[in-house]
Amino acid sequence: MGLTANVFKGRTYWECPQNVGTTWNLKKLLRLKERAREFTRIQLGDGGDASFWYDSWLEIGPLIEFIGMVGPRLLRLPKTARVKDAVHEGSWLIRGARNERVQQLQTILSRMEPPSPDNGSDQPLWRKNDDNYHPTFVSRLTWDKIRTPAAPVSWFGLVWFEKAIPRHAFLLWQVLHQRLPTSDRVARWGIQGPSRCILCRKEVETLSHLFFCCEYSADVWLSLAGNLGGSPPRVVVDAGPWINQHLMTTQRTTKLIKSLLLQLVVYEIWKERNGRTHKDVANSPQQLWFKIDRIMRNILISLHKPDSTGSNDPLQQWYRLMYYD
């Protein structure tokens, strides 16, 4: 109500000009009106909320577009009119006019029951992926309708899974898209700087070198991942088979631990690289190992459930794999 009263000044979303927004978010929302109109309908109740001219309460769409800007003058209904304003004593009150579109509107309304207080409030509806309109909005289904889908990439499961830490997942996503500003990439932009890897000081810094061909990062990665079974990959994008070998129900905790560890190690290696580059602060492989181990234990203890025991408990499984097996 505050938005309608203070910003829209009693008007509907559709009536407001694009420059009425006082915030960046509101202005962006107002610019999406034409796209949003494809997804919205109004199911009439009492006609008190639906705009007569701007809402899509008929199959023909908004009447301001169907009849044109002369509509309010022809029908003697202002632009701010609600649908109930076109009803008098239970009947439609639409003026006649020598206008083909107005005559079509009169024909449509003659076959339609006028809104009534007995019908309750007007109900906004949103189009879902079955092209039918429903009273609930689901962002995922709307996104699927407006985007151009592409085939899933092979590394999808490495980045996006239920328990992933957002900042860790996003950095891994950047790695897999080769978007991190490593020395070789910065050089291609024409910016001069050291080209050697600051972690091992032996090879040119590239993404494939950092994760995990570098002696330093390989030492950290293999000393942790080597305890989790299988052969940890030296190339991030190849981690899928190593993680997905644990598909049985009793092995899902190990799969989750591997997924979380991969993201965390990538995150901490990149953080170590930046700390050395910009702050001249360095950790030995052993120090970084202990740091990652501590963070992993903090993450896993947050996933503990009262009824989980043994191999189903992430923290217990981590201790067993890292310290006892």
Both 298 and 234 in one domain: the answer is: yes
- Secondary structure of residue 213 in the 3-state scheme: helix
- Residue carrying structure tokens 């860790």: 168
Residue 249 predicted with pLDDT over 60 = no
**Is 2 among the domain residues?**
no
Q: Say what the pLDDT of residue 17 is.
A: 76
Q: How far is CA 52 from the centre of its chain?
A: 34
221 falls within a domain: yes
Q: Above 80 in pLDDT, residue 250?
A: no
Closest by CA position to 192, among listed 183, 200, 180, 204: 183
pLDDT tens profile 281-302 = 999 999 999 999 999 999 999 9
Single out the residue in 146, 166, 201 at which a domain terminates: 146
Closest CA to 134 of 143, 125, 142: 125
pLDDT on residue 2: 58
Q: Do 119 and 68 belong together in one domain?
A: yes
Is 12 among the domain residues? no
Burial of 2-25, coded b for 16+ CB within 10 Å and e otherwise, reads eeeeeebeebbbbbbeeeebeeee
Residue 279 has pLDDT above 60, yes or no: yes
Phi, psi for residue 273 in degrees, rounded to 5: -60, -45
Residues whose CB falls within 8 Å of the CB of residue 72, separated by 6 or more in sequence, listed in order: 53, 78, 79, 81
315 & 226 share domain: yes
In a shared domain, residues 136 and 269: no
Q: What is the structure's pLDDT at 22?
A: 66
Q: Give the model confidence (pLDDT) of 177-216 as tens digits.
A: 999 999 999 999 999 888 999 999 999 999 999 999 999 9
Look at 80 and 266; give whichever has higher pLDDT: 266
Mean of pLDDT values over 317-323: 90
pLDDT band for position 18 (cuts 50, 70, 90): confident
Whether 11 maps to a domain, the answer reads: no
Per-residue pLDDT at 312 exceeds 80: no
How large a percentage of the chain has pLDDT more than 90? 68
Assess if residue 27 is contained within a domain: no
- Are 128 and 160 in the same domain? no
| Domain co-membership, 187 together with 269 | yes
**Are 127 and 174 in a shared domain?**
no
Tracing tokens 């169907």 back to the chain, one arrives at 66
Residue 219 located in a structural domain: yes
Q: For residue 40, what are the β-bridge partners?
A: 126
Asked if residue 9 belongs to a domain, the reply is no
Which pLDDT score, from 0 to 100, does residue 246 have? 65
The string of pLDDT tens digits covering residues 261-278 is: 999 999 999 999 999 999
Digit-coded pLDDT (tens) for 141-180: 888 888 888 888 889 999 999 999 999 999 999 999 999 9
Clarify whether residues 97 and 186 are in a common domain.
Answer: no
Q: Which of 86, 111, 146 is the last residue of a domain?
A: 146
Of 83, 117, 146, the residue at which a domain comes to its end is 146
Domain that holds residue 319: 156-324
DSSP string across 21-58: -SSHHHHHHHHTHHHHHTTEEEE-SSSSSSBTTTS--S
Q: Is the pLDDT of residue 15 over 80?
A: no
Q: Are residues 185 and 225 in the same domain?
A: yes
Task: Please tell me whether residues 129 and 187 are part of one structural domain.
Answer: no
Is pLDDT at 30 greater than 90 in this prediction?
no
Distance, C-alpha 83 to centroid of its chain:
36
Contact in structure between 269 and 217 (CB atoms under 8 Å)? yes
Does residue 209 share a domain with residue 112? Answer: no
| Total domains, the chain | 2
Q: What is the pLDDT of residue 289?
A: 97
Mean residue pLDDT of the chain comes to 89
Residues 173 and 304 grouped into a single domain: yes
Asked if residue 269 belongs to a domain, the reply is yes
**Tens digit of each residue's pLDDT (9 = 90 or more) over 214-227:** 999 999 999 999 99
pLDDT tens digits for range 93-137: 988 778 899 999 999 999 999 999 999 999 999 998 767 899 998
Q: Provide the H-helix boundaries in the chain.
A: 2-6, 24-31, 33-37, 63-66, 71-75, 100-110, 139-146, 156-159, 166-176, 183-188, 207-208, 215-225, 239-244, 252-274, 285-302, 314-319
